[in-house]
Each structure stands twice: as structure tokens, then as C-alpha cells.
Amino acid sequence: MPFTLRQIRYFIATADRGQVSQAATEVNVAQSAITTAIQQLEADLGVSLFTRHNAGLALTLEGTRFLQHARTIMAAVNAAETAPLSTLSTMSGSVKVGVSYTVAGYFLPRHYARFARTYPNISVEIFEMPRQDIENGLNTGSLDLAVMLVSNIQDNLNLAQETLLRSHRRLWLPVEHALLRSQTIGLNDIVSLPYIMLTVDEASRTAERYWQKFNLKPNVIFNTSSVEAVRSMVADGIGVTILSDMVYRPWSLEGQRIELRSIVDEIPTMDVGLAWNKLIEQTPATTVLRDFLSLAFSGAST
């Protein structure tokens, strides 16, 4: 039996929330409806999408892969429902957009390409910048819009924001690591292990905050701005790391497997979204781009 859009929506809500009860509240249905939809989806796909533990549900490797497809499906559905039929598609103008490193590499390209096909007369100039430079650009008006890690924004006075996607942070491990045999994993289980710290997009600053919350300090043996370096070092067994699902890939460049496990301690999500200066009136072209991205993710993420 082919899966339904309702099953996809319920699956995404559960993956984002990590608990059936919270997913049910999010989509306004009974918990039993969520459970039944996921069980049927797993039966249709022939794989387990979640593992169950005391803190809720965690995506399996197959579940993580399917989540990427599920978001693409819902984005396509939302785009079809909101696609311009006449005048909007011929709108012209230009938009200057600031993007952060992670967004540029792991989020924006396919959405930018789809927007360019839908609105060929709107010119979008993209500038990759650090967070502080993006905020400055929005405040001075040299940027019209930003697609960035809104969870990092410091200027909450002048800048408005909208979250498009919340990406959970999980533990990356090499194959045959001892922790793979554990039923539950917490920061206390990780703190003494050799740790590879990603620094780009203020990842290390975010990590420091949630480690400090539990009065812990990771055993950092290497700092790097390269996600691929982290991937290779984890796969080689040099260390472990905690990074978001959005940048996770199950294989290193050398073709070595990287395992993924959830952490029972509360770790903040990496939130990708839109930011703009609420004191500056947006141009029609900027509004179209903002609405396009917003509608593409409505129902596809929280």
C-alpha cells in the first residue's frame, strides 16, 4: 500500500518532537492516530523508522534518510498548492540575501533553484557571511533578507525571524564503538571521550552552552571549521561529536560508515530560518521570496 501525505506529516511531526504525545498536540490528533500512522508507514517501507527509549523516540539510520525524503515531499506539495498561476510569476525585482555557511552548504541550493525556476524575473543575490555581518547587513539595509541559523541571532530588538526547520543534534560515532551497545546515552557517557569540535557558524559556542548547563566540559582534542574533517575523523575512530541531523551523512568521504545515536539529555535544536529588519519595509520581490520559503516549509517542519 502506498503511503499517504497524512502519514508523512505525522512522521515529520514525530521526528521533530521526539515524542508521540507532542507530535499529536502539534498536528491536533489523538496519539493513537500518530502511532497507527507510523506503524503502517514502517510496514509499507519495510524498515523501522524509530527506536523507542525512555525519553521518547529516536530516528534510526533509515528513519534519518527517510526524513530527508519526507521533507522534500511536503515541500513539493506545499509548493504545488501555493504555486503562482499568473501575475506573481512575472514579478520582477532584486533581493539581496545573506546566508550563513551551514545554510549555504546544506539547506539553500535546492530551494534557491526552485525559486529561480518559479520566478525567473526576480534576481536573487546571495552573500555568504558570518552571523554578525548578516545582522549588520540587515540593520543597515545592505541586505533585504537572511536565511541563517536563527537560533544564533543576537539582535532580537530590530530583527524579526521565522523558523523554517528545526534540526535535532545527535551523537556521531564510528562503527563498533562501545556506546552503540548502550540502551541510552547521556552527556555523562560522552564527556571523557575524545571529542571533535566543529567551530563554523558558532557551533562551538552553542556546544559550550549546553555542556555548561550540565556542568560538564567535553574532552576536545581537535577544533575545525570543516564538517568533512569532522566526518572523516569520527569515521576513523579518532573521536566523537554532536552535530545536527541536517549536516549528517552516513558515510565519510573515504567511504567509512558513521553511526548516529540520540542523547537523552536536552540539547537545543539547530534552527534554520528567515530573518529581516522589522523596521524596514520589504520590497514586493523580497516578500515573494520570504513567502515562498515560508510556505514551502509549512507543515513540513516545526
Measured distance CA(39)–CA(21) in Å, rounded: 15
Residue 88 pLDDT: 58
Q: Assess whether the region 5-81 and the region 169-268 belong to the same CATH fold.
A: no
Residues of the chain with pLDDT > 90, as a percent, come to 52
| 8-state DSSP, 209 | H
Question: Which residue's C-alpha cell is 520590497?
Answer: 283
Q: Which three cell numbers stand for residue 102?
A: 551551514
Integer Cα distance of 109 and 120 in angstroms: 16
258-283 per-position pLDDT tens digit: 998 889 998 999 999 999 999 999 99
How far is residue 182's CA from residue 204's CA, in Å, rounded to a whole number?
Answer: 26
Distance of CA 152 to the CA centre of its chain: 13
* Per-domain boundaries in the chain: 5-81, 87-166+271-297, 169-268
Q: What are the phi and psi torsion angles at 47 (to 5°)?
A: -140, 160
* φ and ψ of 154, to 5 deg: -100, -35
Give rounded-to-5 percent helix, strand, coil for the chain.
Answer: 45, 25, 30
- Residue pair 288/176 in contact by the 8 Å Cβ criterion: no
CATH architecture, range 87-166+271-297 = 3-Layer(aba) Sandwich (3.40)
Closest C-alpha among 247, 243, 192 to residue 220: 192
Domain 169-268 fold is D-Maltodextrin-Binding Protein; domain 2 (3.40.190)
Whether 152 has a pLDDT exceeding 80, the answer reads yes
Q: Which CATH number fits domain 5-81: 1.10.10.10, 1.10.1040.10, 3.30.1490.20, 2.170.130.10?
A: 1.10.10.10
- Give per-residue pLDDT as tens, 92-110: 899 999 999 999 998 888 8
Residue-wise pLDDT for 228-264, tens only, equals: 999 999 999 999 999 998 898 888 888 898 998 889 9
Residue 51, SS3? strand
pTM of the model as a whole = 0.73
Interatomic CA distance for residues 18 and 166, integer angstroms: 12
